[in-house]
Amino acid sequence: MTDSSKGDPPHHLGPEAIRRRAEALGPWFHNLDLGGVRTAPDHFLGDYPAVKWRRFAHAVPRDLSGKSVLDIGCNGGFYALEMKRRGAARVVGIDSDPGYLAQARFAAEVTGLDVEFRALSVYDVGVLQERFDLVLFMGVLYHLRHPLLALDLIHEHVAGDMLIFQSMQRGSRRVGAVVENYEFWETAQFDRPDYPKLHFVEHRYAHDPTNWWVPNRACTEAMLRSAGFEITAHPEEEVYICGCNAARPADGAVYPARGKHA
């Protein structure tokens, strides 16, 4: 009997069969090692996301036995599979892109890891009807037209104890002090590079039409706080570990009506 949490490869797929199926499922964003076959060996960020994971893996509980994990925007499944390797009892990966989900399902099949992958947008996490001990929300925020709504929905519906968050960030890396209130005629703060700023990309950034909003570091931190997440660690430039039970200063998620009834 194989221990699925250890990721023993199933015997029926040889390297050539893996290579052929991985190629058919490509292009890949995640450079996974599937039985010795690399899925994105020429990734522009190097061995991604393994290079990033190595920089903050120490800040994630090593033993996730008995824990439930939700990976939002799971892509090819790298982080979901890593959480299963850490012994999580239940791991669910969601993504809005069926092509990436097919990759993630194949990766789970090859590695023999038991992870559930579902086609679901972050805006629809309410249908999961479940809170997860650990939620990963990595590399998705800046791809959204409504980033703060996504954080509000995560907080309202699925966040349990811990959120692991990552965003691309641009602009100043300094975080200035923000006071409770600024009077109407005070405007200097808006020109400070260390004031929270969310840069809107009307057209493209890095040739990617799905890059919509890029925060500076102060903005990332302010948005997390505003959605009810308490930053407990910042183990890597773009990565934040958060508690999920902070008092929320804002109202939270909104649900615009579509039909006649609000």
Q: By the criterion CB under 6 A, which residues form the site for ligand SAM?
A: 29, 49, 72-75, 78, 95-97, 100, 121-123, 138-140, 143-144, 166
The least distance separating ligand SAM from the CB of residue 88, rounded to whole angstroms, comes to: 16
Site of tokens 């948005």: 223
Nearer to ligand SAM, 1 or 206 (CB): 206
Q: Residue 141: which residues within 8 A CB-CB, separation 6 or more?
A: 147, 150, 151, 165, 167, 213, 215
Q: Which is nearer to ligand SAM, 68 or 166 (CB)?
A: 166
Find the shortest distance in angstroms from Cβ 123 to ligand SAM.
6
Give me the least distance between CB of 179 and ligand SAM, in Å please.
Answer: 34
Neighbours of 10 (CB within 10 A): 12
If the CB atoms of residues 67 and 143 are measured against ligand SAM, the closer one turns out to be 143
Residue with Cβ nearer ligand SAM (96 or 172):
96
User: Residue 29 carries which DSSP code?
Assistant: S
Does the N-terminal peptide bond of residue 49 adopt cis geometry, omega within 30 degrees of 0? yes
The Cβ of residue 9 has, within 10 Å, a number of other Cβ atoms equal to: 17
CB 182 to ligand SAM: min, Å: 33
Helix (H/G/I), strand (E/B), else coil: 33: strand
Q: How many CB atoms lie within 10 A of CB 165?
A: 25
Q: State in angstroms the smallest separation of the CB of 194 from ligand SAM.
A: 26
